């Protein structure tokens, strides 16, 4: 078999016949190039070319990656993440929101106090006596 391969500035002309008994005979030219050139490692994306232990390790790592990606997806959909992103973009925003909310609560409290005074006056008018304030 004669194979000419060139990639990344390296060229190899593999003419040597081999009986390597590879899982995929079409891989033989690549192994020939690797052995003919200054190559320390030959990488294959096909799991069938790797020992069973490495395949299990690879599958375990893949599962871990999937779990981490799913957890990241859930995190990014959470309100806490959105709040964290807002705080990172504008660090003082939490204090601003707290101040605004406190102001709203003060206004609401003042309105409730006025309403309570009106109701107390109405009770006094209807009952003929001053109502007892609770709290």
pLDDT given at position 13: 58
Per DSSP, 134 falls in state P
pLDDT band, very low/low/confident/very high, at 118 (cuts 50, 70, 90): very high
pLDDT given at position 68: 94
**HSE (side-chain half, CA atoms, 13 Å) at 124:** 10
More confident residue, 1 or 27: 27
pLDDT given at position 1: 46
pLDDT, tens digit, 9 for 90 and up, residues 28-79 = 777 776 776 666 666 666 666 666 776 678 788 889 999 999 999 998 899 8
Q: What is the mean pLDDT of the chain?
A: 79
């Amino acid at each position: 078999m004669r194979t000419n391969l060139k990639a990344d500035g390296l060229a190899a002309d593999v003419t040597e016949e081999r009986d390597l008994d590879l899982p995929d005979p079409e891989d033989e030219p690549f192994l020939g190039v690797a052995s003919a050139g200054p190559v320390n490692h030959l990488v294959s994306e096909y799991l069938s070319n790797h020992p069973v232990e490495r395949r299990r390790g690879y599958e375990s790592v893949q599962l871990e990656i999937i779990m981490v990606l799913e957890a990241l997806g859930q995190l990014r959909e959470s309100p806490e993440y959105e709040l964290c992103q807002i705080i990172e973009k504008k660090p003082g925003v939490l204090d601003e929101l707290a101040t605004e909310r406190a102001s709203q609560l003060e206004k609401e409290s003042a309105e409730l106090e006025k309403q309570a005074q009106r109701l107390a006056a109405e009770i006094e008018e209807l009952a003929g006596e001053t109502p007892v304030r609770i709290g």
